Chains A and B, each alone.
Chain A
Amino acid sequence: EVRLVQSGAEVKKPGESLKISCEGSGYTFTNFWVAWVRQMPGKGLEWMGIVYPDDSDTRYSPSFQGQITISVDKSINTAYLEWSGLKASDTAIYYCARSDFWGSYRLGALDNWGQGTMVTVSS
């Protein structure tokens, strides 16, 4: 069974840094893109970026480029999403999800999702 398990909820102050994680299991983690998706309170889904675990190839949405860092440690089947200076507007649920296409040359649909990590940024 494919599973993506995310780290727990976080409460941070503006300006603080944060790294959340997403551990994959039940499949060959290295050969499927992992995506990060934001959902602000009461709003829709926003594509943030993706990482290919085998070679750490990373692509960012223009809306998030420079604001976040996506990384991966394939030795422990874990992808990460990181901020160096959080803002109140980063308050949201963050989901990781697996692209269903085997290989790096294109994307597939997001067929398996993590449970989400709630990040609250407040002074």
Chain B
Amino acid sequence: DIRMTQSPSTLSASAGDRVTITCRASQNVNNNLAWYQQKSGRAPRLLVHKASSLKPGVPSRFSGSGSGTEFTLTISSLQPDDFATYYCQQYNSFSATFGQGTKLEI
């Protein structure tokens, strides 16, 4: 299986901050990389697919970049609604894998 490693595991920030979460793959996943947001007690929500394509309806303060083995999710100006846990996922093979998650807290 391809191992996905996110950093940091926890990120403390304030409303208005710009934050970046990194995701590294143990082998090349091309641009088959997605980012999800999960709030407590809720199902995950797709934010970004194909490494940098924003899902329609997702605020433009979210952006994704990268290819191959290194990827980032950036939130340009944190809003109170953004405090949640974020996961990356590679789907370059049928045995997809998730990162361990990054908890974004106030």
Contact = CB atoms under 8 A, between A and B. Distances in A.
Interface in B72-106: 87, 89, 91, 93-101
Interface stretch (A8-16, A41-49, A80-88): A41-49
A110 B44 contact: yes
B contact residues, range:
20 to 34
A54 interface: no
Contacts of A99: 91
A116 B93 CA distance: 24
The secondary-structure label for the interface of chain A is strand
A contact residues, range:
20 to 34
Contact of B101 (A45, A59, A111): A45
A47 B43 contact: no
Interface in A34-89: 35, 37, 44-47, 50, 59, 61-63
